[in-house]
């Protein structure tokens, strides 16, 4: 019952944006006044807003069904939870249950002023549930899966749309719909310039050097946004890996459409192509992973499907591999070392009298393949170069698609698929994340375009998440995913507000001193900056980034202590935490502090209208407080309610040279140490930023000149684009040029030669045709005509002759018969 | 003994014969009725055409009754062995009486004959039809002669029915004299065959020939030679009816002189009857191993005649400007196509694989019958258009068809469909009819090389025929109607008559149920006539 209710809520939330897309794209096009109407935007906001309400309802339903056992302190170090509970209850009196789960503050924010009754009802209900929590054991069902619709059946391969609902799904749904709602609202203001029949694009030029004039595309923008939301929610809801792939590609195409929204700009269409093609590289690996999985497991589903009696009808992927309780490794065939494919109770499945198994290296291939898809989508090294270019899209797109949701999908999938990853794959994930976070952070230090800084910081933060997952910090990585979504979308919206206010000026050196001009934007931005830098304590409440980054760094430290050879996995993130604080504060000081550097820009700067500032004001408290309580707080507990069970205790290295997995105890033990180190790094980074950009003590230009070598290296993005250019583009161009040359010289000459030959033949053929064929036909015609005419001569009409002909005919026939017939 | 014979005859006649002969009897009765109506001036009250229609309808009805009563391979002789009742003869009865109805309908529409002459005309028409039915069910050489003459004599009069016109009378005279000559030759041939073989029963001819020749029949044997001469002379008589080259001279003149309605009737009905007779005669001479070599040669000779006839008919049609004359030659050509089926049948039935080929043999006769059925509609349609247009333009020249499309699309389209079918274009019935015959010829070609030549000639002639048919299409659709030309304003009923015929031509091509049903009936009829042997 609960499963069906949840499914229905989430399906509504998932399908509403699709309906919205259909309405917007068609009715937007055919409506009377498509270029001036905001109807499409309201439709999109309505759909996603309703989706948010459905997600909240689903969250509450889920919580009530299992008596909020997810919020039980399944970690030993959650001693502050109750205290936090009390405090929160008092401090935010009107949000009675705000601390029970992440949905509540979100709910309050979105519902501000429009849905109080409902809110209180929900709050009361959840409050009751929490109060009368009988501390039921974890045996309650928290995961629901099933089939929505069967697409097709090909032999033993069944492709279907499934759902898989657990706490991660619900948190993701709520987060995505909430942020999307805010961004839709913001975009309504940001994109209002498109509400015209004659939009002048100042950054696109026609061949004669004039600006491009085109009709506004307001409704189209919102239609694409709705389609994107549909795809993203479908991805989160997906109950099998193939369905994930479908929606994976769908978000890819939406991203393509939105990056290339200003399609007349060469840079935008190039960026769209780049994003799409880079993602295809990753998806290639994804497909290989899918093939391996299907070949050996015979199914794409995550969860088990049950029949009407509740008996398991078909096993899902997650229940087909089992880990040894003691070592945490997959159960293997003793002789070959292949990983056994098991039933729900850990007994190997039989096929033709043999244990079904998958070679270990193929499980590695499958894991790396799926992770390759995540690398593409989450812009990890070495496929990170598309994300900065994707900033060519409108800023709301950057906020929604390229920071909060789509790029997080890679991290989400890594988390979702975590039970299938073996330790080699996890180590790869950790190192990829580590490299990514460092490279991106260093580039962000020298970037001057405000959106590019944020783009690189996004890549860097995604690297953190990957690192967290890779070092067994499943909860930490996903925790950071959620918190990052809030503060990064906030910062992008702030940057959008700045860009809007400065009339599409994105270069930070031309800004400065905007604090007084646009105070709301500046303050909310500061909240975001503090959050990402991981600053603690403002009025006794830690910033969300403080909790989540601490969790990751702690996981990394525990991992390093258990596996000392992988020390880099701790020190680089620690260093980068400082760099992060540095470049983020650099951004803030550059933009809002100091004296105006470009007076023209400064004079015309203005605060954005309310429809753009309200989303900022909604998101700012969330960015600050969403991680309230840290790893004992509701968000983390909720998120990790269905965490892979083998993580909690940790194991010693199962195989020689293998990885030791630190348990939660070990992580907790180093938590304070790690937190202090990270805090020190962050403060020092922020301090340096203040000294360099907040005061006039140091001449930054001079410093740049002195360090021109390293600055140039970083400004050129570690030469990745040049490297790819030399490695792939140039050879491709060479090959293409060779092909073109080959085509022109060889094929064309063959073609031309054969064309000439055909002409020659046809000329000859014409002569043949005219003289011989026509001649024959004419001859036939004239001869038959003349023969016919000669028949006419016989047909004299004289009766006497006719009778004579009878006689002659008989005699002639007689002669013929007697000469030819057999004797 | 004599009384016993009489008793048997009476018993047989009252038991079977009158029933089997009912269609002919109804037609005969209609003739009497029409003449009596005339005598008592009842024809002013009841149109003669109406009486004729009822008589023909009854004939169809009774023929259908016979069709349902008979079993597939049943073959019964009656009237003392003179006639034979099987599916084959019933097929022709239905065919001819249906055709009679359509012809009467056409004459009503075109107004030839007028009221005064109607009883005479329809009596002649019915009499000729009875003769043709007799031809199709003949089992004796006497009936062969009787049927041919009974069909011919009324035809002579009908050709000369346009009394006031000199050309009509001249055509009639030519037809009579020519027919008389041919009849004389045929009668001589019959007397030779019957005299040497000692029987007039056609189904016994082969057996008797075997006895006479004592061993494989060959022309070296003087008696066989005499029989061969006789058969050849009988064939001359049939060739006259079928207007095969070189006994076709009457045909263009007679058609040109006769009215288009009569020409249409003669071109279809008289051919049909004659083909029925030819098939029976040929099968009577076949099927005995001793005569096989001789009859195979006979079949090949028929193939040669078919080639000459087809080619001549098509080529001679080229220069014609009078439409009736043109279609007279076209009729000659089509007789040639149909003769190919008989030729193929003879070659197959007299081969040593006859038993294995029985299906193909049936198929060849079936092809002939199917061709006749399609030919009925397409040729009658063409002649109907000629007659209808003539009523407005008083002209039967090809130039009178210029721009017909602008004047009467129904006639033009009906004519076009008939012509396409006559050419043998898919998807019209004519294509499938031709296909069936050519398929039989191809089968026979496996037995005798000459049939390949027949097949090639058939294919080539299909191309030849295109040219003169297309001239009519060109006149109707592409050429401007001359300003001084008379207007053709066809009433709806006349147009729909033509369109119904055209639709039948079309449906026999595209409606698989109709085409398959008809061809399977035709095949069983073919099987019946072979098994009657």
CA distance A811 to chain B (A): 10
What is the per-residue pLDDT for B29?
A: 94
CA atoms within 13 A on the CB side of A807: 6
Ramachandran quadrant class, A605 (left: phi over 0; alpha: psi -120 to 50; beta: rest): beta
What is the per-residue pLDDT for A327?
A: 66
Nearest to A60 by CA among A175, A229, A174: A174
Cα–Cα distances in angstroms (integers) from residue B531 to residues B200, B286, B349, B444, in the given order: 19, 12, 12, 20
- Flag whether residue A784 sits within 8 Å of chain B, measured between CB atoms: yes
- Contact between A822 and B293 using a beta-carbon 8 Å cutoff: yes
Spans of chain A, pLDDT less than 70 = 34, 70-140, 307-310, 325-328, 537-540, 648-657, 823
> Which residues have a Cβ under 8 Å from the Cβ of B347 and sit 6 or more positions away?
B296, B299, B300, B303, B444, B447, B448, B451
* Torsion on CA atoms B62, B66, B69, B74, rounded to nearest 10: 170
For the stretch A357-381, pLDDT in tens is 888 888 889 999 999 999 999 888 8
Strand ranges for A172-291 from DSSP E: 199-205, 211-214
State how far the Cα of A546 lies from the Cα of A532, in Å rounded to an integer. 8
In three-state secondary structure terms, B38 is helix
| Cβ–Cβ < 8 Å for B448, B296 | yes
| Cβ–Cβ < 8 Å for A234, A208 | no
Judging contacts by C-beta atoms under 8 Å, the chain A residues touching residue B177 are: 799, 802-803
Higher pLDDT, B323 or A106: B323
Higher pLDDT, B491 or B303: B303
- Flag whether residue B180 sits within 8 Å of chain A, measured between CB atoms: no
Q: Which helix (H) or strand (E) holds A52?
A: helix A39-65
Ramachandran quadrant class, A301 (left: phi over 0; alpha: psi -120 to 50; beta: rest): beta
State how far the Cα of B168 lies from the Cα of B320, in Å rounded to an integer. 18
| Phi and psi angles of residue A418, each rounded to the nearest 5 degrees, phi first | -50, -40
| Phi and psi angles of residue A199, each rounded to the nearest 5 degrees, phi first | -90, 130
Among A797, A799, A817, the residue with its CB nearest the CB of B177 is A799
Higher pLDDT, B348 or A122: B348
In three-state secondary structure terms, B397 is strand
- Flag whether residue B312 sits within 8 Å of chain A, measured between CB atoms: yes
Residue B499 has pLDDT above 70, yes or no: yes
For the stretch B131-163, pLDDT in tens is 999 999 999 999 999 999 999 999 999 998 888
Structure tokens at B417: 């469909």
Determine the length of chain A. 823
| Cβ–Cβ < 8 Å for A476, A670 | no
| Cβ–Cβ < 8 Å for B255, B324 | yes
- Flag whether residue A813 sits within 8 Å of chain B, measured between CB atoms: yes
DSSP A73: -
| Cβ–Cβ < 8 Å for A581, A702 | no
- Flag whether residue A804 sits within 8 Å of chain B, measured between CB atoms: no
What is the per-residue pLDDT for A130?
A: 36
Structure tokens at B303: 């193939």
| Cβ–Cβ < 8 Å for A98, A85 | no
- Flag whether residue A797 sits within 8 Å of chain B, measured between CB atoms: yes
In three-state secondary structure terms, B288 is coil
Cα–Cα distances in angstroms (integers) from residue B190 to residues A732, B198, B229, in the given order: 95, 11, 10
Higher pLDDT, B98 or A699: B98
Rounded to 10 deg, the angle between the A39-65 and A2-22 helix axes is 170
What is the per-residue pLDDT for A165?
A: 87
What is the per-residue pLDDT for A109?
A: 40
Higher pLDDT, B232 or A611: B232
Structure tokens at B15: 């038991």
N- to C-terminal Cα separation, chain B = 28
CA distance A284 to chain B (A): 53
- Flag whether residue A805 sits within 8 Å of chain B, measured between CB atoms: yes
Smallest CA–CA distance from B225 into chain A, residue: A818
| Phi and psi angles of residue B134, each rounded to the nearest 5 degrees, phi first | -60, -40
Instruction: Name the CA radius of gyration of chain B, rounded.
Output: 22
What is the per-residue pLDDT for A72?
A: 64
State how far the Cα of B522 lies from the Cα of B425, in Å rounded to an integer. 21
Residue B415 has pLDDT above 90, yes or no: yes
> Which residues have a Cβ under 8 Å from the Cβ of A209 and sit 6 or more positions away?
none
CA distance B179 to chain A (A): 10
Determine the length of chain B. 533
State how far the Cα of B402 lies from the Cα of B321, in Å rounded to an integer. 13
ipTM of model: 0.83
For the stretch B448-492, pLDDT in tens is 999 999 999 999 999 888 888 988 999 999 988 888 888 888 888
What is the per-residue pLDDT for A819?
A: 84
Smallest CA–CA distance from A801 into chain B, residue: B249
State how far the Cα of A806 lies from the Cα of B213, in Å rounded to an integer. 30
* Torsion on CA atoms A182, A183, A186, A188, rounded to nearest 10: -110
> Which residues have a Cβ under 8 Å from the Cβ of B466 and sit 6 or more positions away?
B423
State how far the Cα of B236 lies from the Cα of B234, in Å rounded to an integer. 5
Q: Is A568 exposed, middle or buried (0-12, 13-18, 19+ CB in 10 A)?
A: middle
Among B218, B250, B297, the residue with its CB nearest the CB of A802 is B250
Among A791, A809, A821, the residue with its CB nearest the CB of B297 is A821
* Torsion on CA atoms A105, A111, A112, A118, rounded to nearest 10: -90
Structure tokens at A270: 């190039």
State how far the Cα of B246 lies from the Cα of B241, in Å rounded to an integer. 12
Smallest CA–CA distance from A780 into chain B, residue: B464
Higher pLDDT, B447 or A154: B447
In this prediction the pTM is: 0.57
- Contact between A818 and B318 using a beta-carbon 8 Å cutoff: no
Which of B156, B177, B181, B235 to probe by mutation at the A interface, max A CB count within 10 Å? B181
Structure tokens at B245: 């080259």
State how far the Cα of A110 lies from the Cα of A54, in Å rounded to an integer. 13
- Flag whether residue A747 sits within 8 Å of chain B, measured between CB atoms: no
Which of B160, B318, B463 to probe by mutation at the A interface, max A CB count within 10 Å? B318
Q: A355 has which bridge partners? A: A350
- Flag whether residue A124 sits within 8 Å of chain B, measured between CB atoms: no
- Flag whether residue A793 sits within 8 Å of chain B, measured between CB atoms: no
What is the per-residue pLDDT for A84?
A: 37
What is the average pLDDT value for chain B, to the nearest integer? Answer: 89
Structure tokens at B142: 């006497």
CA distance B294 to chain A (A): 6
Judging contacts by C-beta atoms under 8 Å, the chain A residues touching residue B253 are: 795, 797
């Amino acid at each position: 019952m609960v499963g069906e209710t949840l499914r229905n809520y989430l399906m509504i939330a998932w399908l509403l944006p699709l309906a919205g897309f259909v309405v917007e794209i068609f009715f937007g096009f055919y409506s009377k006044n498509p270029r001036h109407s905001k109807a499409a935007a309201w439709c999109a906001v309505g759909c996603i807003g309703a989706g948010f309400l459905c997600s909240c309802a689903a969250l509450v339903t889920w919580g009530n069904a299992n008596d909020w056992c997810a919020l039980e302190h399944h970690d030993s170090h959650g001693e502050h939870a109750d205290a936090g509970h009390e405090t929160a209850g008092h401090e935010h009196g009107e949000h009675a249950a705000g601390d029970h789960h992440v949905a509540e503050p979100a709910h309050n924010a979105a519902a501000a002023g429009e849905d109080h009754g409902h809110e209180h009802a929900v709050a009361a209900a959840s409050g009751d549930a929490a109060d009368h929590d009988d501390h039921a054991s974890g045996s309650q069902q928290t995961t629901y899966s099933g089939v929505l619709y069967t697409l097709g059946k090909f032999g033993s391969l069944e492709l279907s749309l499934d759902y898989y609902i657990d706490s991660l799904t619900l948190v993701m749904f709520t987060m995505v719909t909430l942020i999307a709602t805010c961004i839709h609202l913001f975009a309504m203001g940001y994109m209002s310039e498109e509400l015209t029949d004659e939009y002048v694009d100042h950054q696109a030029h026609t061949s004669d050097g004039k600006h491009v004039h085109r009709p506004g595309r307001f409704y189209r923008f919102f239609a694409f946004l709705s389609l994107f939301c549909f795809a993203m929610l479908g991805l989160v809801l997906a109950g099998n890996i193939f369905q994930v792939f479908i929606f994976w590609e769908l978000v890819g195409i939406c991203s393509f459409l939105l990056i290339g929204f200003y399609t007349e700009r060469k840079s935008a269409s190039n960026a769209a192509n780049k994003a799409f093609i880079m993602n295809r590289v990753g998806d290639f690996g994804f497909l290989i992973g899918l093939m391996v999985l299907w070949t050996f497991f015979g199914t794409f589903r995550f969860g088990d499907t049950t029949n009407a009696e509740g008996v398991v009808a078909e096993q899902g992927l997650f229940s087909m591999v089992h880990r040894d309780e003691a070592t945490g490794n997959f159960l293997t065939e003793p002789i070959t070392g292949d990983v056994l494919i098991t039933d729900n109770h850990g007994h190997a499945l039989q096929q033709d009298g043999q244990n079904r198994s998958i070679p270990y290296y193929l499980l590695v291939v499958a894991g790396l393949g799926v992770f390759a898809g995540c690398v593409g989508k989450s812009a990890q090294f070495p496929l990170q170069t598309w994300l900065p270019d994707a900033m060519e899209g409108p800023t709301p797109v950057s906020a929604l698609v390229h920071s909060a949701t789509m790029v997080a999908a890679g991290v989400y999938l890594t988390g979702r698929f975590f039970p299938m990853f073996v330790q080699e794959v996890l180590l790869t994930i950790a190192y990829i994340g580590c490299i990514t976070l460092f490279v991106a952070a260093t580039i962000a230090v020298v970037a001057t375009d405000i959106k590019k800084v944020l783009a690189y910081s996004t890549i860097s933060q995604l690297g953190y998440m990957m690192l967290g997952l890779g070092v067994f910090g499943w909860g930490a990585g996903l925790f950071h995913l959620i918190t990052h979504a809030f503060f990064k979308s906030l910062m992008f919206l702030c940057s959008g507000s700045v860009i809007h206010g400065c009339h599409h000026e994105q270069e930070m050196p031309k800004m400065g001193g905007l604090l007084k001009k646009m105070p709301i934007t500046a303050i909310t931005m500061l909240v975001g900056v503090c959050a990402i830098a991981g600053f603690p304590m403002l009025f006794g409440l830690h910033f969300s980034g403080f909790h989540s980054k601490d969790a990751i760094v702690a996981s990394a430290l525990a991992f390093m202590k258990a596996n000392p050879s992988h020390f880099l996995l701790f020190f680089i993130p620690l260093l980068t935490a400082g760099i992060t604080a540095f470049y983020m504060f650099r951004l803030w000081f550059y933009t809002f502090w100091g004296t105006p550097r470009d007076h023209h820009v400064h004079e015309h700067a203005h605060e954005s209208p309310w429809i753009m500032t309200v989303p900022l004001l909604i998101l700012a408290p969330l960015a600050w407080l969403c991680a309230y309580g840290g790893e004992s707080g509701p968000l983390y507990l909720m998120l990790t309610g269905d965490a892979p069970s083998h993580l909690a205790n940790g194991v010693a290295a199962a195989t020689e040279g293998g990885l030791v997995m630190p348990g939660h105890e070990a992580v907790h033990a180093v938590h304070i140490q790690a937190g202090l180190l990270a805090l020190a790094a962050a403060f020092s980074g922020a301090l340096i930023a203040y000294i360099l950009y907040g005061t006039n003590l140091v001449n930054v230009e001079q410093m740049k000149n002195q360090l021109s070598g390293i600055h140039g290296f970083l400004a050129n993005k570690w030469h990745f684009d040049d490297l790819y250019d030399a490695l792939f583009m140039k050879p491709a161009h060479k090959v293409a040029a060779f092909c073109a040359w080959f085509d022109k010289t060889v094929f064309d000459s063959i073609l031309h030669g054969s064309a000439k030959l055909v002409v020659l033949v046809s000329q000859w053929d014409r002569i043949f045709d005219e003289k011989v064929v026509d001649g024959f036909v004419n001859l036939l015609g004239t001869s038959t005509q003349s023969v016919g005419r000669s028949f006419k001569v016989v047909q004299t009409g004289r009766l006497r002759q006719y009778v004579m002909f009878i006689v002659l005919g008989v005699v002639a026939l007689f002669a013929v018969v007697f000469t030819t017939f057999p004797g | 003994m004599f009384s016993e014979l009489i008793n048997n005859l009476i018993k047989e006649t009252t038991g079977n014969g009158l029933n089997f002969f009912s269609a002919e009897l109804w037609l005969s009765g209609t003739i009497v009725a029409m003449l009596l109506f005339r005598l008592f001036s009842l024809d002013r009250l009841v149109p003669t055409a109406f009486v004729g229609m009822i008589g023909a309808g009854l004939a169809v009805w009774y023929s259908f009754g016979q069709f349902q009563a008979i079993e597939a391979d049943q073959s019964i002789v009656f009237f003392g062995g003179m006639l034979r009742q099987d599916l084959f003869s019933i097929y022709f009865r239905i065919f001819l009486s249906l055709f009679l109805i359509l012809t009467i309908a056409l004459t009503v529409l075109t107004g030839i004959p007028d009221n005064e002459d109607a009883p005479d005309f329809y009596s002649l028409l019915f009499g000729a039809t009875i003769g043709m039915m007799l031809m199709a069910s003949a089992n004796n050489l006497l009936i062969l002669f009787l049927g041919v003459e009974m069909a011919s004599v009324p035809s002579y009069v009908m050709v000369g029915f346009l009394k006031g016109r000199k050309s009509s009378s001249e055509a009639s005279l030519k037809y009579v004299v020519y027919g008389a000559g041919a009849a004389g030759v045929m009668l001589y041939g019959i007397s030779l065959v019957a005299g040497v073989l000692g029987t007039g029963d056609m189904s016994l001819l082969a057996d008797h020939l075997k006895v006479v020749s004592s061993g494989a029949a060959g022309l070296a044997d003087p008696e066989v030679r005499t029989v061969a001469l006789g058969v050849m002379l009988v064939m001359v008589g049939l060739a006259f009816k079928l207007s095969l080259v070189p006994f076709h001279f009457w045909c263009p003149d007679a058609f040109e002189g006769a009215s288009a309605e009569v020409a249409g009737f003669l071109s279809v009905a008289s051919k049909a009857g004659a083909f029925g007779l030819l098939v029976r005669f040929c099968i009577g001479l076949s099927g005995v191993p001793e005569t096989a070599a001789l009859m195979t040669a006979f079949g090949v000779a028929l193939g040669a005649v078919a080639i000459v006839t087809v080619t001549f008919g098509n080529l001679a049609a080229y220069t014609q400007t009078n439409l009736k004359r043109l279609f007279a030659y076209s009729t000659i050509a089509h007789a040639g196509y149909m003769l190919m089926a008989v030729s193929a049948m003879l070659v197959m039935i007299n081969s040593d694989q006859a038993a294995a080929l029985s299906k193909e043999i049936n198929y060849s006769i079936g092809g002939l019958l199917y061709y006749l059925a399609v030919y009925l509609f397409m040729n009658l349609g063409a002649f109907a258009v000629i007659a209808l247009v003539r009523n407005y333009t008083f002209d039967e020249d090809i130039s009178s068809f210029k721009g017909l499309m602008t004047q009467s699309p129904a006639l033009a389209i009906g004519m076009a469909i008939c012509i396409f079918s006559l050419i043998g274009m898919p998807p019209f019935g004519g294509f499938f009819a031709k296909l069936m015959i050519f398929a039989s010829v191809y089968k026979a070609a496996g037995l005798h090389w000459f049939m390949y030549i027949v097949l090639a000639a058939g294919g080539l002639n299909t191309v030849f025929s295109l040219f003169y048919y297309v001239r009519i299409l060109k006149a109707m659709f592409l050429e401007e109607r001359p300003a001084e030309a008379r207007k053709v304003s066809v009433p709806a009923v006349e147009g729909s008559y033509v369109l119904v015929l055209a639709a039948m031509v079309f449906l026999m091509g595209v409606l698989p149920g109709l085409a398959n049903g008809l061809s399977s009936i035709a095949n069983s009829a073919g099987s019946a006539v072979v098994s009657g042997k």
